[in-house]
Amino acid sequence: MCSKLLYLATGLVATAFVVACAEPSMDTTEVAVSDNLDGNVLLAEWTGPYSGVPAFDGMDLAALKPALEAGMAMQLEEIDAIAANLEPPTFDNTILAMERAGRDLDRVLTYWGIWRGNLSTPAFREIQREMSPRLAEFRTKIRQNEALFARIRAVYEGGEMETLRPDEQRLVWLIYDRFARNGATLEGEARERYAEIDKRLAELYTQFSNNVLADEEGYVLYLTEDQLGGLPESFVGAAAAAAAYREREGEYAITNTRSSMDPFLTFSDERDLREQVWRTYYGRGDNGDEYDNNDIISEILQLRDERVQLLGYDNYAQWRLQDRMAKTPESVFDLLEEVWPAALARVEEEVADMQAIADAEGAGVTIEPWDYRYYAEKVRQEKYDLDSDELKGYLQLDKLVEAMHFVAGELFSFEFTPVPEGSVPVFHEDVQVFEVTDKTSGDHVGLWYLDPYARPGKRSGAWATTYRSHETFDGLRTVLSSNNSNFIKGGPGEPILISWDDAETLFHEFGHALHSLSSAVDYPTLNSGVRDFTEFQSQLLERWLLTDEVVDNYLVHHETGEPMPAELVAKIQKAATFNQGFMTTEYLASALVDMKYHTVDPTEIDPDGFERQALAELEMPSEIVMRHRSPHFGHIFSGEGYASGYYGYIWAEVLTADAAEAFAAAPGGFYDEELAKRLVANLFAARNSLDPADAYRVFRGRDATIDALMRDRGFPVDAAG
């Protein structure tokens, strides 16, 4: 089975093969492996240093389709051999045999993921449209292999289970549950219809994500020098570089991505341009043109509902949450609705503060969504004397990367060393590669790839990907992990200065990479994540950004080299709960609408109307919109990883806030050696080898409560009760 992991943060999708498609030209069972294998770099074993690395420098798009065809055929041969084994089913000849299957296709899908996320082109998207349903059919064919499932069930229900280690028992359960909850128990027409739905959904997921990408690439606002009022010098330089890249020398490009939109709305004095940028960004996928996603959403929701009905579930959310920490839709709604009133109350206070400043300036405006960031920044400066542009001067991308490596060294005993130039292939000249070793033993742990900059063809947001996961059962396989961002390059020789939010996101995504790099599990499937737990590790790492050790050594001014002064640090700490009404409400709105979409009858649903009605029922403030409006909500409509699961960020934040309080109270603070060892062993290295709730209890000695989260956001603790 494919053991790839793909994590998303802002604007990200969590699935390895989300693509759009045409009818397949042949059934995967008809592919002759030998016709497609010889000389295909995408199928070839990884060679070179560090136990082998992907041949990113040899990627050939012409080889992709044949490689996919051959990889699928090879894995089906492996699966058929397991299913046809005449020996009684055992852990070794069934479960471990499945863990070994699909290595060739895994390698191909690594390259697929690079083209999809980092190097997308029209030619690649054509291949997506053709191959997506074939990948869906392939996965369904494995899940619906009756003889295979019979062997899995025999191991799961057999006496051998009692002799297995706890992690091996969990491996058997994870594989059994994956099959049972994905149609393996269906028969006849229900089985056929399930397969048809999976195939169609694969088409729709890719069409959705490609439509969003088209709107991100197709809408660029070019400014002249007289339209730059209020914009920081660093942002102006980046906008000039972005325009020059698009052969518009002398102009300034505001791209349709969060990394460009957010600072523009925060600083631009041109209110009409702020509105234009806001409407363009939040209108992605919702323009009534060929890239409009509303009809696609409707069909996705109906197909998902029909599919889980075949399995006997009342709604999609009920099916999705059974293997999550939350377990039921009711428990998710309980959490979200506990926090929602406090968030709304804070928004009311924030809007009042902003309106007061606008009135005092004689602006003659009522706060609108495109004003929120702009006037919030003015409030920040007035109430906390905290200037975002001043703060950015201490946030250099290269120094922040060094800071992340320092933290990883202190907590995980990892050392990051740049590999010699040219020794490891990369897929773009911007990509940097580091070897990760254990500082104590000197042992090789893996490689870490960093792809930090925005470019055409790269999807927006920030995410982490694992090209190869840790395992030991067939010999040690070390980790190949990556982080991907969309920072705007400055001019030649200029430092890349980023916002505080972007710095937190950088640490956040690095937390996902550390989760992969610290893995100590034996089997590939145990590297898979429980979605509402996997955000915990990344959210927690954000807390080290403002520790004294990081501030004093890495948050240094780009001109003077002086560390961030204590006064500025104090302002950041004082303003830690600033704008939490906005941030919590825009997030919770998206999470609540996601849950509502997947707990109602979706027949003839109109996404635009449904979104408006759902927000009205929630009494959503008019000054704020959902963080991800439905037509570009890639987390839930470009795949299924976060569908009925976007709540997972705040579910994990409950754990994060609670764990952070443990570090704050520890004798050694955030670098407490004993607590760090418990954290790594139980909540990072263990991966999915045990239930996350049990793992957290071992670390903390008890369950987490919502109180720490409420304190963390500056909300009254009793507001949750």
Where exactly does CATH 1.10.1370.40 map onto the chain? 5-207
Residues forming a β-bridge with 704: none
702: number of Cβ within 10 Å: 9
pLDDT tens sequence across 154-213? 999 999 999 999 999 999 999 999 999 999 999 999 999 999 999 999 999 999 999 999
pLDDT bracket for residue 37 (50, 70, 90): low
Nearest alpha carbon to residue 688 among 534, 476, 510:
534
CA distance 602 to 610: 10
CA distance 151 to 395: 55
Q: How far is CA 196 from the centre of its chain?
A: 28
Is-contact 336 650, C-beta < 8 A?
yes
CA distance from start to end of the chain: 44
Give the helix ranges, DSSP H, for 158-232: 166-180, 188-218
What is the structure's pLDDT at 9?
Answer: 30
CA distance 688 to 527: 6
Give 456: exposed, middle or buried? Use CB within 10 Å, 0-12, 13-18, 19+. Answer: middle
Is-contact 98 149, C-beta < 8 A?
no
CA distance 651 to 536: 8
Nearest alpha carbon to residue 500 among 390, 370, 406:
390
pLDDT bracket for residue 493 (50, 70, 90): confident
Is-contact 75 104, C-beta < 8 A?
yes
pLDDT bracket for residue 6 (50, 70, 90): very low
For the record, the structure tokens of 651 come out as 């579910």
What is the structure's pLDDT at 17?
Answer: 28
What is the structure's pLDDT at 163?
Answer: 98
Is-contact 71 36, C-beta < 8 A?
no
Nearest alpha carbon to residue 465 among 481, 447, 450:
481
pLDDT tens sequence across 327-375? 999 999 999 999 999 999 999 999 999 999 999 999 999 999 999 999 9
453: number of Cβ within 10 Å: 18
Nearest alpha carbon to residue 46 among 34, 35, 36, 57:
57
For the record, the structure tokens of 694 come out as 């049990």
For residue 481, the number of C-alpha atoms closer than 13 Å in the C-beta half-sphere is: 27
pLDDT mean over 475-482: 96
What is the structure's pLDDT at 272?
Answer: 98
pLDDT bracket for residue 16 (50, 70, 90): very low
For residue 184, the number of C-alpha atoms closer than 13 Å in the C-beta half-sphere is: 20
What is the structure's pLDDT at 7?
Answer: 29
Whole-number mean pLDDT of the chain? 92
5-207 maps to which CATH number?
Answer: 1.10.1370.40
Helices (H) then strands (E): counts for the chain? 28, 8
Host H or E run for residue 140? helix 122-143
What is the structure's pLDDT at 489?
Answer: 85
CA angle, residues 671, 501, 517, in degrees to nearest 5: 50
Q: Is the pLDDT of residue 548 over 60?
A: yes
**What is the residue whose two structure tokens read 């955030």?**
670
pLDDT bracket for residue 641 (50, 70, 90): confident
CA distance 188 to 240: 60
Q: Is the pLDDT of residue 26 over 70?
A: no
pLDDT mean over 148-155: 98
The 3-state DSSP class for residue 466 equals strand
Host H or E run for residue 438? strand 432-438
Give 701: exposed, middle or buried? Use CB within 10 Å, 0-12, 13-18, 19+. Answer: exposed
The 3-state DSSP class for residue 601 equals coil
CA distance 154 to 548: 55
Give 167: exposed, middle or buried? Use CB within 10 Å, 0-12, 13-18, 19+. Answer: middle
The 3-state DSSP class for residue 78 equals helix
CA distance 287 to 275: 16
Is-contact 439 414, C-beta < 8 A?
yes
CA distance 324 to 637: 19
Higher pLDDT, 84 or 2: 84
pLDDT mean over 533-545: 95
At 497, give phi and psi (nearest 5°). Answer: -100, 135
Q: Is the pLDDT of residue 141 over 60?
A: yes
pLDDT mean over 597-610: 96
What is the structure's pLDDT at 531?
Answer: 84
Q: Is the pLDDT of residue 562 over 50?
A: yes
What is the structure's pLDDT at 3?
Answer: 33
Give 601: exposed, middle or buried? Use CB within 10 Å, 0-12, 13-18, 19+. Answer: exposed
Higher pLDDT, 716 or 370: 370
What is the structure's pLDDT at 492?
Answer: 81
Q: Is the pLDDT of residue 14 over 60?
A: no
pLDDT mean over 547-569: 97
Is-contact 22 130, C-beta < 8 A?
yes
For the record, the structure tokens of 453 come out as 């900059």
What is the structure's pLDDT at 234?
Answer: 85
pLDDT tens sequence across 40-80? 999 999 999 999 999 999 999 999 999 999 999 999 999 99
CA–CA distance from 178 to each of 80, 144, 523 (Å)?
Answer: 18, 11, 16
- What is the share, in percent, of the chain residues with pLDDT greater than 90? 88
What is the structure's pLDDT at 35?
Answer: 47
CA distance 445 to 515: 12
CA distance 624 to 557: 34
What is the structure's pLDDT at 12?
Answer: 26
At a CB cut-off of 8 Å and minimum separation 6, what does 490 contact?
A: 234, 237, 238, 241, 496, 497
Nearest alpha carbon to residue 175 among 109, 100, 112:
100
**What is the residue whose two structure tokens read 């995408």?**
42
Q: Which residues of 625-636 are buried (b: 16+ CB within 10 A; e: fewer)?
A: bbbbbbbbbbbb
Q: Which residues are catalytic?
A: 509
For the record, the structure tokens of 627 come out as 């963080």
Q: Is the pLDDT of residue 268 over 80?
A: yes
Higher pLDDT, 547 or 491: 547
Give the helix ranges, DSSP H, for 442-499: none
